[in-house]
């Protein structure tokens, strides 16, 4: 979700949306708090949300096939990466997170958002 918000932040020319998307991406990537990105950006424009779900789902398939296990609920963020790396299948989780982020960012940047989607008032 943070990757989609970051892509919107970098692509839009609207200053208010750039601020909202940038702060939403920051909270998702650094702290793992994805609600601002989900409700403030991704669901509002729909395509970023769909692209994020598909990319994150592909990452989940990779973790499942590699046998990765979460012993507790851990949100993936820059702060928790060292914790995830030591888990069983942790490297597959890190690879899946990278694929999910890269797929979400690239998909949203190239196909999921453009300024013509903004409400003109």
Domain that holds residue 99: 2-116
Is there a domain that residue 91 lies in? yes
Residue ranges of the chain whose pLDDT lies below 70: 120-121
Structurally, the chain folds into a number of domains equal to 1
Is there a domain that residue 59 lies in? yes
Is there a domain that residue 35 lies in? yes
pLDDT digits (tens, 9 = 90+) for 20-37: 999 999 999 999 999 999
Is there a domain that residue 72 lies in? yes
Indicate the DSSP class of residue 88: T
**Helix pair 2-11, 90-107: axis angle to 10 deg:** 30
User: Between the CA of residue 103 and those of 19, 59, 85, 106, 119, what are the distances in Å?
Assistant: 23, 9, 21, 5, 26
pLDDT digits (tens, 9 = 90+) for 86-100: 888 888 888 888 999
Is there a domain that residue 121 lies in? no
């Amino acid at each position: 979700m943070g990757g989609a918000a970051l892509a919107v932040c970098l692509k839009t020319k609207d200053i208010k949306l750039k601020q909202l998307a940038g702060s939403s991406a920051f909270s998702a990537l650094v702290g793992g708090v994805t609600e601002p990105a989900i409700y403030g950006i991704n669901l509002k424009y729909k395509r970023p949300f769909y692209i994020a779900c598909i990319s994150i789902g592909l990452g989940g398939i990779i973790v499942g096939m590699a046998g990765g296990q979460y012993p507790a609920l851990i949100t993936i963020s820059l702060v928790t990466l060292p914790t995830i790396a030591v888990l069983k299948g942790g490297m597959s989780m890190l690879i899946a997170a990278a694929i999910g982020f890269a797929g979400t960012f690239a998909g949203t940047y190239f196909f999921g958002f453009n300024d013509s989607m903004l409400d003109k008032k």
